[in-house]
A and B are shown apart, each in its own frame.
Chain A
């Protein structure tokens, strides 16, 4: 066979193999979890990819499958109206099922507030949250999203003066104070605008 053709085939093969290895080798531990969510979100919106995440999706990353699926579940309307009245309806994959279940059992003391619901709504939302919860194995974890390992890893660089002592933010639980697209489920760093400080650029 033609030598040029052979070289060309070998080159294409090598290139494909390299891309596959590159996509697969980008490991993501707990610290990068949120970044993974952001990347998948970008992919979901057909926007320009970051960190080769779309490649992970292309080559069948398990996490890429089903991302954002909770939004299309009919129960998400109930979740939004019953649990989004005082704060944003936090994406279910921010906590493991056990944590959500603890929350749903104690709605009468919901971080100092009363968020009680009737039995039917409680059961529906509990099942919904469990279905789309953080599936990674965790021995035991906090019930507060802001105290989870992944959350702290994502926000440990933010100075206290920009959050707790900032009247425009006040608490990390107020995602939408800084994450301008939190309502659409996007927490991408590039959309962050901290009140009184502007963009957050690493």
Chain B
């Protein structure tokens, strides 16, 4: 019995660690003023288009509408691994990396930084890849 539990918890470590990673990020956003997170809100933000410098921009421009699909950089063509943590277990494990890309991509897409609420909503949606 003991052995079974040990093995199971070892096997589940990546999943549990990932859940912990996202939770610690969400905790950070809560302490910055965010309230309840909503995957539905995250999804809407993901697909919303803005017109900046005469260009239509959305997260989906590079990442596609489906976070479980691979994407491509709109200009360089560089392949981008899926964003959904459910299909790409390496996502969101590095807090500095998450913040770097939020900074770059929110500013490009929305012409401003994302709020902690928006970041939490987006991560909640990307965690499952579904509403």
Contacts and interface: CB of A to CB of B under 8 A. Distances in A.
B78 to A, nearest CB: 5
A174 interface: yes
Interface string A31-56: 00000000000000000000000000
B100 A86 contact: no
A87 B78 contact: yes
Given A85-B78, A86-B73, A118 B108 contact: no
A170 to B, nearest CB: 7
A177 B78 CA distance: 10
B33 interface: no
Nearest to B78: A86
A36 B92 CA distance: 43
Interface string A108-120: 1001111111100
A173 B76 contact: yes
B108 A174 contact: no
Given A117-B100, A118-B100, A112 B76 contact: no
Contacts, number: 35
Query: Which of B100, B104, B105 counts the most A-chain CB atoms under 10 A from its CB?
Result: B104
Nearest to B104: A114
A86 B74 CA distance: 10
Contacts of B104: 113-116
B2 interface: no
A113 B78 contact: no
B90 to A, nearest CB: 14
Contacts of A118: 100
Nearest to B108: A114
A114 B107 contact: yes
29 contacts: A86-B73, A86-B75, A86-B76, A86-B78, A87-B73, A87-B76, A87-B78, A108-B107, A111-B75, A112-B53, A112-B55, A113-B75, A113-B104, A113-B108, A114-B103, A114-B104, A114-B105, A114-B107, A114-B108, A115-B104, A116-B100, A116-B103, A116-B104, A116-B107, A118-B100, A170-B77, A171-B76, A174-B76, A177-B77
Which 9 interchain pairs have the tightest Cβ spacing?
A: A114-B108, A87-B76, A114-B104, A114-B107, A86-B73, A86-B76, A86-B78, A116-B104, A116-B103
Given A108-B107, A114-B103, 14 more contacts: A87-B73, A87-B76, A87-B78, A112-B75, A113-B75, A113-B108, A114-B105, A116-B107, A117-B100, A118-B100, A170-B77, A171-B76, A174-B76, A174-B77
